[in-house]
Structure 1
Amino acid sequence: MKLFKQFTIIIALSFIGEVLHALIPFSIPASIYGILLLFLLLEQKILQVDDVKEVSDFLIFIMPLLFVPAAVGLIDTWDELRASLTAYVTIIIAVTLIVMIATGLITQWFIRHSRKSVK
Protein backbone atom coordinates (compact mmCIF):
# COMPACT_ATOMS: atom_id res chain seq x y z
CA MET A 1 0.00 0.00 0.00
CA LYS A 2 2.96 2.32 0.70
CA LEU A 3 4.22 2.01 -2.87
CA PHE A 4 0.73 2.64 -4.23
CA LYS A 5 0.51 5.85 -2.17
CA GLN A 6 3.92 7.01 -3.39
CA PHE A 7 3.08 6.27 -7.01
CA THR A 8 -0.27 8.03 -6.64
CA ILE A 9 1.49 11.16 -5.34
CA ILE A 10 3.85 11.21 -8.32
CA ILE A 11 1.05 10.58 -10.81
CA ALA A 12 -1.12 13.28 -9.19
CA LEU A 13 1.72 15.81 -9.45
CA SER A 14 2.23 14.82 -13.09
CA PHE A 15 -1.48 15.30 -13.74
CA ILE A 16 -1.44 18.71 -12.05
CA GLY A 17 1.54 19.56 -14.28
CA GLU A 18 -0.55 18.63 -17.32
CA VAL A 19 -3.39 20.84 -16.10
CA LEU A 20 -1.01 23.76 -15.49
CA HIS A 21 0.45 23.25 -18.96
CA ALA A 22 -3.03 23.49 -20.45
CA LEU A 23 -3.94 26.59 -18.40
CA ILE A 24 -0.71 28.61 -18.50
CA PRO A 25 0.15 29.98 -21.95
CA PHE A 26 3.94 29.35 -21.75
CA SER A 27 5.80 26.80 -23.83
CA ILE A 28 7.01 24.95 -20.72
CA PRO A 29 6.53 21.16 -20.81
CA ALA A 30 3.98 19.72 -18.39
CA SER A 31 6.64 17.51 -16.82
CA ILE A 32 8.58 20.61 -15.76
CA TYR A 33 5.51 22.00 -14.03
CA GLY A 34 5.08 18.68 -12.22
CA ILE A 35 8.71 18.45 -11.12
CA LEU A 36 8.68 22.09 -9.95
CA LEU A 37 5.55 21.38 -7.96
CA LEU A 38 7.22 18.33 -6.40
CA PHE A 39 10.27 20.46 -5.58
CA LEU A 40 8.15 23.16 -3.95
CA LEU A 41 6.23 20.62 -1.87
CA LEU A 42 9.47 19.03 -0.70
CA GLU A 43 11.09 22.40 -0.05
CA GLN A 44 8.14 23.63 2.00
CA LYS A 45 8.13 20.32 3.94
CA ILE A 46 4.56 19.60 2.82
CA LEU A 47 5.92 16.34 1.41
CA GLN A 48 8.81 14.42 2.91
CA VAL A 49 11.39 12.60 0.79
CA ASP A 50 10.23 9.34 2.38
CA ASP A 51 6.76 10.00 0.91
CA VAL A 52 8.09 9.30 -2.61
CA LYS A 53 11.54 7.72 -2.15
CA GLU A 54 11.01 4.06 -3.07
CA VAL A 55 8.94 4.74 -6.18
CA SER A 56 11.30 7.53 -7.24
CA ASP A 57 14.29 5.20 -6.88
CA PHE A 58 12.47 2.56 -8.93
CA LEU A 59 11.56 5.04 -11.68
CA ILE A 60 15.15 6.26 -11.87
CA PHE A 61 16.34 2.62 -12.01
CA ILE A 62 14.11 1.82 -15.02
CA MET A 63 14.70 5.17 -16.74
CA PRO A 64 16.89 3.68 -19.52
CA LEU A 65 14.01 1.39 -20.45
CA LEU A 66 11.75 4.42 -20.85
CA PHE A 67 14.03 5.75 -23.62
CA VAL A 68 13.59 2.66 -25.81
CA PRO A 69 10.51 4.01 -27.66
CA ALA A 70 12.35 7.26 -28.43
CA ALA A 71 15.35 5.31 -29.76
CA VAL A 72 13.07 3.20 -31.94
CA GLY A 73 11.54 6.39 -33.30
CA LEU A 74 15.02 7.64 -34.22
CA ILE A 75 15.76 4.39 -36.00
CA ASP A 76 12.53 4.72 -37.96
CA THR A 77 13.53 8.20 -39.16
CA TRP A 78 17.24 7.42 -39.69
CA ASP A 79 17.13 8.19 -43.44
CA GLU A 80 15.84 11.69 -42.73
CA LEU A 81 18.30 12.24 -39.86
CA ARG A 82 21.36 11.04 -41.79
CA ALA A 83 21.15 14.01 -44.18
CA SER A 84 21.53 16.48 -41.29
CA LEU A 85 23.64 14.37 -38.92
CA THR A 86 26.67 16.69 -39.03
CA ALA A 87 24.52 19.70 -38.17
CA TYR A 88 22.83 17.85 -35.30
CA VAL A 89 26.13 16.66 -33.82
CA THR A 90 27.65 20.14 -34.13
CA ILE A 91 24.65 21.74 -32.43
CA ILE A 92 24.63 19.13 -29.64
CA ILE A 93 28.34 19.65 -28.93
CA ALA A 94 28.04 23.46 -29.03
CA VAL A 95 25.00 23.58 -26.77
CA THR A 96 26.58 21.10 -24.34
CA LEU A 97 29.69 23.29 -24.08
CA ILE A 98 27.59 26.43 -23.62
CA VAL A 99 25.58 24.79 -20.84
CA MET A 100 28.73 23.50 -19.13
CA ILE A 101 30.42 26.91 -19.25
CA ALA A 102 27.30 28.76 -18.09
CA THR A 103 26.74 26.29 -15.26
CA GLY A 104 30.36 26.63 -14.14
CA LEU A 105 30.26 30.42 -14.20
CA ILE A 106 26.96 30.61 -12.34
CA THR A 107 28.18 28.10 -9.75
CA GLN A 108 31.38 30.12 -9.23
CA TRP A 109 29.34 33.29 -8.85
CA PHE A 110 27.12 31.66 -6.21
CA ILE A 111 30.13 30.28 -4.32
CA ARG A 112 31.86 33.68 -4.30
CA HIS A 113 28.61 35.42 -3.33
CA SER A 114 27.95 33.00 -0.46
CA ARG A 115 31.51 33.43 0.86
CA LYS A 116 31.07 37.23 0.95
CA SER A 117 27.77 36.99 2.81
CA VAL A 118 29.26 34.62 5.42
CA LYS A 119 32.11 37.00 6.30
Structure 2
Amino acid sequence: MQFLNGITLLLVYQLVGEITVRLMNVPIPGPVLGMVMLFLTLMIRGRAPASVDQASSALLSHLSLLFVPAGVGMMAHFGRIADEWLPITLSLLLSTIVTMVATAFIMQLTSRWFAGAEPDGEQSDD
Protein backbone atom coordinates (compact mmCIF):
# COMPACT_ATOMS: atom_id res chain seq x y z
CA MET A 1 0.00 0.00 0.00
CA GLN A 2 2.92 2.34 0.68
CA PHE A 3 4.09 2.00 -2.93
CA LEU A 4 0.66 3.01 -4.18
CA ASN A 5 0.59 6.04 -1.86
CA GLY A 6 4.08 7.06 -2.95
CA ILE A 7 3.42 6.75 -6.68
CA THR A 8 0.17 8.66 -6.23
CA LEU A 9 2.01 11.48 -4.48
CA LEU A 10 4.63 11.61 -7.26
CA LEU A 11 1.90 11.73 -9.91
CA VAL A 12 0.01 14.43 -8.01
CA TYR A 13 3.12 16.63 -8.01
CA GLN A 14 3.52 15.98 -11.74
CA LEU A 15 -0.13 16.91 -12.30
CA VAL A 16 0.15 20.09 -10.23
CA GLY A 17 3.25 21.05 -12.21
CA GLU A 18 1.47 20.42 -15.50
CA ILE A 19 -1.59 22.42 -14.46
CA THR A 20 0.57 25.29 -13.22
CA VAL A 21 2.53 25.41 -16.49
CA ARG A 22 -0.62 25.43 -18.58
CA LEU A 23 -2.42 28.06 -16.49
CA MET A 24 0.54 30.41 -16.13
CA ASN A 25 2.02 29.78 -19.59
CA VAL A 26 5.46 29.05 -18.12
CA PRO A 27 8.10 27.82 -20.64
CA ILE A 28 9.09 24.85 -18.45
CA PRO A 29 7.84 21.27 -18.84
CA GLY A 30 5.13 20.45 -16.31
CA PRO A 31 6.87 17.37 -14.89
CA VAL A 32 10.04 19.40 -14.29
CA LEU A 33 8.10 22.06 -12.37
CA GLY A 34 6.36 19.31 -10.40
CA MET A 35 9.74 17.78 -9.58
CA VAL A 36 11.02 21.16 -8.36
CA MET A 37 7.90 21.51 -6.18
CA LEU A 38 8.46 18.02 -4.78
CA PHE A 39 12.12 18.84 -4.10
CA LEU A 40 11.18 22.02 -2.24
CA THR A 41 8.56 20.16 -0.21
CA LEU A 42 11.08 17.48 0.75
CA MET A 43 13.67 20.12 1.67
CA ILE A 44 11.16 21.86 3.94
CA ARG A 45 10.12 18.58 5.56
CA GLY A 46 13.74 17.49 5.95
CA ARG A 47 13.11 13.92 4.84
CA ALA A 48 11.18 11.88 2.31
CA PRO A 49 8.13 9.92 3.48
CA ALA A 50 8.57 6.16 3.50
CA SER A 51 5.97 5.80 0.74
CA VAL A 52 7.84 8.18 -1.60
CA ASP A 53 11.12 6.47 -0.75
CA GLN A 54 9.69 3.06 -1.62
CA ALA A 55 8.05 4.25 -4.85
CA SER A 56 11.13 6.14 -6.05
CA SER A 57 13.40 3.18 -5.28
CA ALA A 58 11.12 0.88 -7.26
CA LEU A 59 11.07 3.29 -10.22
CA LEU A 60 14.85 3.73 -10.15
CA SER A 61 15.41 -0.03 -10.10
CA HIS A 62 13.58 -0.22 -13.46
CA LEU A 63 15.11 2.93 -14.96
CA SER A 64 16.67 1.01 -17.85
CA LEU A 65 13.18 0.26 -19.21
CA LEU A 66 12.76 3.97 -19.95
CA PHE A 67 15.43 3.66 -22.66
CA VAL A 68 13.38 1.15 -24.66
CA PRO A 69 11.21 3.82 -26.38
CA ALA A 70 14.33 5.75 -27.39
CA GLY A 71 15.83 2.61 -28.91
CA VAL A 72 12.62 1.84 -30.77
CA GLY A 73 12.52 5.42 -32.07
CA MET A 74 16.07 5.11 -33.34
CA MET A 75 15.24 1.91 -35.18
CA ALA A 76 12.07 3.41 -36.65
CA HIS A 77 14.03 6.39 -38.00
CA PHE A 78 17.21 4.50 -38.89
CA GLY A 79 17.05 5.62 -42.53
CA ARG A 80 16.92 9.28 -41.59
CA ILE A 81 19.74 8.83 -39.10
CA ALA A 82 21.82 7.13 -41.81
CA ASP A 83 21.12 10.01 -44.21
CA GLU A 84 22.07 12.69 -41.68
CA TRP A 85 24.90 10.95 -39.82
CA LEU A 86 27.43 13.77 -40.27
CA PRO A 87 25.42 16.60 -38.60
CA ILE A 88 24.31 14.21 -35.86
CA THR A 89 27.88 13.12 -35.17
CA LEU A 90 29.22 16.67 -35.21
CA SER A 91 26.50 17.94 -32.88
CA LEU A 92 27.10 15.06 -30.47
CA LEU A 93 30.85 15.68 -30.43
CA LEU A 94 30.50 19.44 -30.07
CA SER A 95 27.90 19.20 -27.31
CA THR A 96 30.05 16.65 -25.45
CA ILE A 97 33.08 18.95 -25.62
CA VAL A 98 31.06 21.99 -24.50
CA THR A 99 29.59 19.99 -21.61
CA MET A 100 33.01 18.75 -20.50
CA VAL A 101 34.51 22.27 -20.61
CA ALA A 102 31.54 23.76 -18.74
CA THR A 103 31.68 21.00 -16.12
CA ALA A 104 35.42 21.51 -15.59
CA PHE A 105 34.97 25.28 -15.30
CA ILE A 106 32.10 24.96 -12.81
CA MET A 107 34.06 22.37 -10.83
CA GLN A 108 37.03 24.74 -10.54
CA LEU A 109 34.79 27.62 -9.46
CA THR A 110 32.96 25.59 -6.83
CA SER A 111 36.21 24.05 -5.55
CA ARG A 112 37.67 27.52 -5.04
CA TRP A 113 34.44 28.75 -3.49
CA PHE A 114 34.21 25.86 -1.00
CA ALA A 115 37.94 25.89 -0.22
CA GLY A 116 37.95 29.57 0.74
CA ALA A 117 40.86 30.58 2.93
CA GLU A 118 43.24 28.18 4.63
CA PRO A 119 42.50 27.54 8.35
CA ASP A 120 45.50 29.67 9.41
CA GLY A 121 44.31 32.56 7.22
CA GLU A 122 46.85 32.12 4.40
CA GLN A 123 45.87 31.45 0.80
CA SER A 124 47.29 28.39 -0.98
CA ASP A 125 49.60 28.87 -3.99
CA ASP A 126 47.83 26.49 -6.41
TM bucket, shorter chain: 0.7 to 0.9
> How far apart are residue 15 of structure 1 and its match?
0.9
Gaps of 5+ in 1: none
Q: Which amino acid aligns with 1:34?
A: G
In the superposition, the TM-score normalised over structure 1's length comes to: 0.84
Aligned residues: 119
Deviation at 1:35, TM superposition (A): 1.6
Contact 1:41 1:47 in 2 (8 A): no
Q: CA deviation at 1:60?
A: 1.3
Going from structure 1 to structure 2, the CA distance change for 1:52 and 1:81 (only over 3 Å counts) comes to same
Partners of 2:47 and 2:9 lie apart in 1 by 10
The residue type paired with residue 25 of structure 1 is N
Q: Which entry has the higher C-alpha Rg, 1 or 2?
A: 2
The answer to whether the 8 Å contact 2:9/2:52 transfers is: yes
- Separation (CA, whole Å) in 2 of partners of 1:20 and 1:68: 30
Runs of at least 5 residues in structure 2 that lack an aligned partner in the other structure: 120-126
* Root mean square deviation of aligned Cα: 2.1
1:74 deviation in Å? 1.9
Taking the aligned partners of 1:32 and 1:97, their CA distance within structure 2 comes to 26
